[in-house]
């Protein structure tokens, strides 16, 4: 039998190739990922410092006299009290919000007034057109335990309102409707409260209609002064001994 050339023999009878070992690199990658995950999980996280507590914004309610109930006083030319009170009340609220207070406008007989608890409540009204009178008036709630704070609220408004408007205090036209104002009976007795008559729609019309922002500024300044005074008193430690 003739001898076969090695080349032919190799072609006809190829040597068996030993099986290849499976590549190790995919497993190495998996192990590396697992190790990284364990490391990230185990290492202490850098946590942001907790937010410091911020004091709650003082809540202030401003009643727009007669709003959502009736027109209030009406002049012969059709000028209505409610048209003035709503404008002034909204401007007061806007100014208080700009100062960081949680202020809101309330209706005359707003359901929220029942048990209303706030840092201050002021009801804004306007006097009639019946007489050619001029001047404002302001009365606080006498209900305990906030009677003293209500008196302080009135005191501050009586300081800032005439400064902003130029109006004098008209004491001899204060009525039982003011001293026994219905909202004083409904709100939480801890709420300092006051009612202000901005002026007369007769003698003070130029101010009330032409420059309501001055009336709003005077009220907002008084409320802010009251709240600042209260905050100062609360922050001042009581004398020892």
Q: What tokens appear for 11 in the block?
A: 């072609």
For 229-240, write each residue's pLDDT tens digit.
999 887 766 566
**What is the share, in percent, of the chain residues with pLDDT greater than 70?**
75
For residues 185-195, b (16+ Cβ closer than 10 Å) or e, as one string? ebbeeebbbbb
Cα 192 to the center of its chain, rounded Å: 18
Report whether pLDDT(100) > 50. yes
Domains located in the chain, CATH noted: 59-234 (3.40.630.40)
Contact between 218 and 93 (Cβ < 8 Å)? no
| pLDDT the model gives residue 71 | 98
- Cα separation, 61 vs 63, in Å, equals 6
Give 3's pLDDT tier (boundaries 50, 70, 90). Answer: very low
H helices of 43-118, where?
Answer: 81-98
Mean pLDDT, residues 117-133: 95
pLDDT, mean over the chain: 84
Residue 59 pairs in a beta bridge with 102
Q: pTM for the complete prediction?
A: 0.76
DSSP 111: G
| pLDDT the model gives residue 226 | 99
For 171-198, write each residue's pLDDT tens digit.
999 999 999 999 999 999 999 999 999 9
| pLDDT the model gives residue 34 | 56
Mean pLDDT, residues 97-126: 98
Residue bearing tokens 């990284």? 36
Mean pLDDT, residues 115-139: 96
| pLDDT the model gives residue 17 | 45
Mean pLDDT, residues 109-128: 98
Mean pLDDT, residues 19-43: 50
- Cα separation, 13 vs 8, in Å, equals 8
For 61-72, write each residue's pLDDT tens digit.
999 999 999 999
| pLDDT the model gives residue 12 | 34
């Amino acid at each position: 039998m003739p001898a076969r050339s090695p080349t032919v023999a190799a072609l006809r009878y190829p040597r068996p190739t030993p099986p290849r070992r499976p590549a190790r690199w995919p497993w190495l990658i998996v192990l590396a990922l697992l190790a990284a995950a364990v490391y990230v999980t185990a290492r202490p996280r850098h946590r942001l410092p907790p937010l410091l507590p911020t004091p709650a914004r003082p809540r202030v309610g401003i009643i727009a006299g007669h709003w959502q109930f009736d027109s209030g006083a009406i002049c012969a030319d059709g000028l209505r009290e409610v048209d003035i009170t709503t404008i002034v009340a909204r401007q007061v609220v806007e100014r208080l919000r700009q100062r960081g207070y949680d202020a809101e406008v309330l209706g005359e007989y707003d359901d929220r007034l029942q048990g209303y608890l706030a840092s201050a409540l002021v009801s804004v009204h306007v006097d009639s057109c019946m007489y050619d009178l001029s001047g404002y008036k302001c009365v606080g709630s006498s209900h305990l335990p906030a009677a003293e704070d209500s008196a302080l609220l009135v005191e501050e408004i009586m300081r800032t309102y005439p400064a902003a408007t130029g109006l004098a205090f008209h004491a001899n036209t204060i009525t039982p409707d003011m001293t026994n104002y219905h909202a004083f009976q409904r709100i939480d007795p801890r709420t300092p409260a006051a009612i202000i008559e901005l002026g007369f729609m007769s003698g003070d019309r130029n101010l009330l209609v032409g420059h309501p922002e001055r009336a709003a500024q005077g009220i907002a300044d008084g409320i802010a002064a009251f709240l600042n005074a209260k905050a100062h008193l609360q922050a001042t430690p009581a004398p020892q001994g």
